[in-house]
Amino acid sequence: MSDEADLIRIEEWLSGCISDADFALLEKRLSESSELRSQLRAMADLEAGLRRLALTPEVIVTEPRLIEEESKSTAGFSRWIPWGVAAAAALVAVIAWLPHFNFGRFSAGGYVTAMLVDEAGAVFAQPRLPGDVRFEPGSYELKSGMVHLRFVNGADLVVEGPAQFTIRNAFRTDLAAGRVRAIVPPTAHGFTVVTKDVAYEDVGTEFGLSMDAKTGESLMHVFDGQVNLRSGDALGSLLRSVFEGDSVGYRDGKMEDSQDIDVGAFPSPESIGHQRWIAQRKQRLTDPSLIAWFTFERGANASILVNEARRHGTSDGRIAGARWATGRWPGKQALWFERENDFSEIEIPGEYSELTVSVWLKVDRFEHEMNAILNSNGADPGDFHFQMNRLGLPRGGALGVARPVQRWVGNPVPTGKWVLVVSVISVPQRKHVIYVNGQAVMESELGSGEFLIRPGQCRLGNWLGEGYPGTSASRGLRGLVDEVSVWNRAISASEVAALTESGRPSLLWSRENPPLKVPMPKP
């Protein structure tokens, strides 16, 4: 039974003057007493500020002035402002003790419940306007594609279409059909996805769930942490707890362990990037200037690197030594270059006054003086070279061309991270720029005189330098490559930025790279 001391602690907590010791005691008492939890719910109903702090803690923390201006008509709310930073996390921790707290009553109109942070080919039954990223409580039908929603409590929900779901509030979403993945941080402890018969309550930290509307069967796999399965009725009785690595199915009132769930079929934030890349394939191939596009999708012959753009006569590549591995996304392949003789040989026939080459790669280490990306065999005038030095600074271009001005202007390629490196050469513009993740890293002004770029027979991830006196051919790449594109024109800086954005590995990936810790060397 709660006593006066408990109520005083709640008042102190709501007023923002509770001590750490009393807060810890209050948290313990809330976990023990259902009566005290009921009293807290009643007091919270009277405290309008609880709604905003519980559902938009990041707004309270980062924009207290804005919240205060918007809340002048809400009695008592201004007292929440000074301690928003300290209480935001504490409040969610206390709320976690309230398993049946009705958050729905706090989802008032005008307050976003979830935001769209990423999508790939998403088509809703009722079209959403471009730039419309707010998801209020309500029912949604995703006819195709994928969406990644982030709730205001920090929970992530990835939904793959076709799917039908209803957002009740920040802690509950009903799934009528489709596949989802929930990633739940401590701030969203208790986030629940409810199907026809079962409520799947996450107590940390990640699970996948599918619901078949025709059969009524739901399948769930726990990727990490624990999920409590509760009855879908008002009682919310605990049916079972399921732990990391386990899968269960529920149908016709029966729950059974499942050994044959394809856990890779559940959507993830990373798979959205892969789907977006796949969806752009048709558009990419309509570009008449695209003379080669090696997508690194392993075919029946594992020694062939398939070129998707065939119109200009560039053939498939030949893989020698390099081994297949996982690329930027689950389900996407890459080639791993690790040994001295690993390479893939491709031929780019023809002569060009402009040439662009883009490569997605992840470097394990810089082992040589020069580390090859894509180089013409040998070193004849007009050959194309594209490589990195020991510091990860990219360089190269067309051999035999004077460069009156050549300078590094940006951050190098880091190790252990997927990056997009792009070399753009234009003879008419007398310009050569190398980009890393959309940012110019090397700029060169080309000398006068006419010349043509003749890539010819090239090696990806290595260099065949036979017949080039005084130079070692040890330039083998140590790392992964999972996409190579070649255009017979100089693509623009905005196009490079768009390539970087469309191919980014995940939402958490950043195009920013760490700078050199030493002065920039002279080219």
Strand pairing class (192-194; 172-183): parallel
| Percent with pLDDT over 90 in the chain | 59
Question: How much is the mean pLDDT over the chain?
Answer: 83
CA–CA gap between residue 478 and residue 415 (Å, rounded): 10
Report which listed range, 266-270, 307-311, 455-459, is most confident: 455-459
β-strand partners of 230: 199, 238
Q: Tell which residue, 117, 118, 94, 269, has the closest CA to residue 186.
A: 94
- Give the separation between CA 459 and CA 424, rounded to whole angstroms: 18
C-alpha distance across the termini of the chain, in Å = 76
Helices then strands, counting H and E runs in the chain, come out as 10, 27
281 by Cβ neighbours in 10 Å (0-12 / 13-18 / 19+) ranks as exposed
How many angstroms separate the CA atoms of 172 and 137, rounded?
A: 10
E strand or H helix at 444, and its extent? Answer: strand 439-445
Poorest-pLDDT segment among 54-68, 273-287, 390-404, 460-474: 54-68
Instruction: Please say if the pLDDT value at position 118 is more than 90.
Output: no
In the predicted structure, residue 49 carries a pLDDT above the cut 50: no
- Identify the CA nearest to 324 among candidates 349, 348, 342: 342
Residue that the structure tokens 């006066």 belong to: 4
pLDDT band at 337 (very low <50, low <70, confident <90, very high): very high
Per-residue pLDDT tens for 152-189?
999 999 999 999 999 999 999 999 999 999 999 999 99
Of residues 196 and 472, which shows the higher confidence score? Answer: 196
pLDDT (0 to 100) of residue 517:
83
Which of 79-93, 355-369, 413-427 is least confident?
79-93
- What domains does the chain contain, in order, with CATH numbers? 4-98 (no CATH), 114-269 (2.60.120.1440), 280-502 (2.60.120.200)
Q: CA dihedral in degrees (113, 118, 123, 125; nearest 10)?
A: 0
Structure tokens at 315: 């053939």
In terms of DSSP bridges, do strands 290-294 and 384-389 run parallel, antiparallel, or are they unpaired? Answer: unpaired
Among residues 299, 331, 328, 332, the alpha carbon closest in space to that of 316 is found at: 299
Q: Residue 433, Cβ neighbours under 10 Å: how many?
A: 20
* 504-510: average pLDDT: 82
Distance CA 8, CA 520 (A): 62
Mean pLDDT throughout 88-111?
A: 38
Confidence of residue 98 (pLDDT cuts 50, 70, 90): very low
Question: pTM of the predicted model, to two decimals?
Answer: 0.70
What is the rounded average pLDDT of the residues 493-513?
89
pLDDT at 301 over 70: yes
The more confident residue out of 515 and 473 is: 515
Residue 34: which pLDDT band, with cuts at 50, 70 and 90? low
523/521 Cα distance (integer angstroms): 6
Q: Is the pLDDT of residue 382 over 60?
A: yes
